[in-house]
Amino acid sequence: MSEEIATQATILHVDMDAFFASVAERDNPELKGKAVVIGMGARGVVSAANYEARKFGIHSAMPVGRARRLAPHAIFLPVDMARYQEVSEHVMEIFHSFTPWVEPISLDEAFLDVTGSQKLLGTGREIAVAIRKKVEEQEGITCSVGIAPSKFIAKLASANCKPNGMLEITSDRILTFLHPLPIQAMWGVGPKTAEVLERLGLRTIEDIAKLPRATLIRALGEANGASLYELAWGRDYRDVTPEEPDRSISAAETFAQDLDNPEEILTEFLRLTERATARLRDRDLFAKTISIKVRFADFSTINRSKTLPLPIDSTHDVYEVVKGLYQALRIERARLRLVGVSLENLSEGAPHQMMLGEREVGWRQAEGAIDQARARFGKGSVRPARLISASEDDED
């Protein structure tokens, strides 16, 4: 049975190609043509791999140790989230120059509704060509673009033209393109759902479409079954939602060796607090809820948080909360594998309530001056004394 799909929208899904690795190659042209892996440490995981590295079977979330065994000649680089964030912001600015309807999905991909832009900028395909050209000229990296009447089909299209490609799926081609794809290509089909579908003898999206809706609902539940049935017929009515304010900013560190010294752990918490609050201030945001994560050697994890009466953005103030949350756990000499700091409940303005005896110029003003110095002389030019001594110890 054939079902008609009627829509006038033009949606782009723009996805950077091997984004973290591409940024590294752009910053160091000597890496071009070599296998590059983002991720270091004996117990770390791969954050990204360029296409040269992927030829050896390396992929995201793979243990770094295994990646080294697969490609011992590959170049392994540390994660530089601040740099990726910077390039991502530039890329998002390019997207916004074509349409206000931009919905970021992550640092390196976004949906764009260019339906209203076509009168001025040309067809969806012409806009996609212009975006790809502008990203490469201004940022020195490439992207792949899927063009379709819906978000679901646009994302599938971009995945099927990587790297550095462009694929348009018009309304009359949706089912021809969609139905031969494997069930794993569907939104909402993870390993467990795929196992259920495969037990029903379903291998392709066409198999799902031909299954009675009621049968699918009985197998997966009302919400999942109904959603997959609609998507299997190419029906996706979700709008592109313009960018919302950040919900949280976080920083975490997995240690090369488990830590059990409270002072060393607090130093790591300070390092992560500095990293997170710098990003917070860079975006002119304030946090009202401060959270920490502690993961033990046996992988058990504790999360603790505190919501403050007023939002803050000072490294000093945030660290005092982080320190208090950690010390309240009373886990002396426990072996920790990972710690993390998260800034949540974010806002663009912070009402300031002067405390009795408080100086008019304090930590916030001092850290504003520090941010300016870092912007001029580099992010490592001004640091807390505790972190400077830690860095020097690491280098010895």
What positions carry a catalytic annotation? Answer: 109
What sign for the dihedral angle of Cα 219, 225, 231, 233?
A: positive
Cα 158 to Cα 178: distance, rounded to the nearest angstrom: 13
Q: Is 299 left (phi over 0), alpha (psi -120 to 50) or beta?
A: left
Q: Which residues are annotated as a binding site for Mg(2+)?
A: 15, 108
Q: What separation in angstroms does the CA of 359 have from each of 15, 191, 220, 222? A: 48, 57, 61, 59
Q: Which token pair is 207? A: 């198999």
What does the alpha-carbon distance between residue 282 and residue 373 come to, in Å, rounded to a whole number? 13
3-state secondary structure of 124: helix
Contact by Cβ (8 Å): 29, 140: no
Q: Are strands 102-106 and 109-113 parallel, antiparallel or unpaired?
A: antiparallel
Please state the φ and ψ torsions of residue 357, each to the nearest 5 degrees. Answer: 85, 0
Question: What is the β-pairing status of strands 336-347 and 248-259?
Answer: antiparallel
Interacting residues of 97 by C-beta distance below 8 A, sequence separation 6+: 134
CA angle 102, 103, 105 (to 5 degrees): 140
Give the DSSP letter of residue 47: -
Angle among Cα 210, 111, 88 to the nearest 5 degrees reads: 140
Residues contributing to the annotated binding site? 15, 108
Buried b (16+ CB within 10 A) or exposed e, 27-62: eeeebeeebbbbbebeebebbbbbebbbebebeeeb
3-state secondary structure of 242: coil
CA 153 – CA 175 distance, rounded (Å): 10
Distance CA 113, CA 125 (A): 12
Contacts of 104 (CB under 8 A, 6+ apart): 92, 110, 243
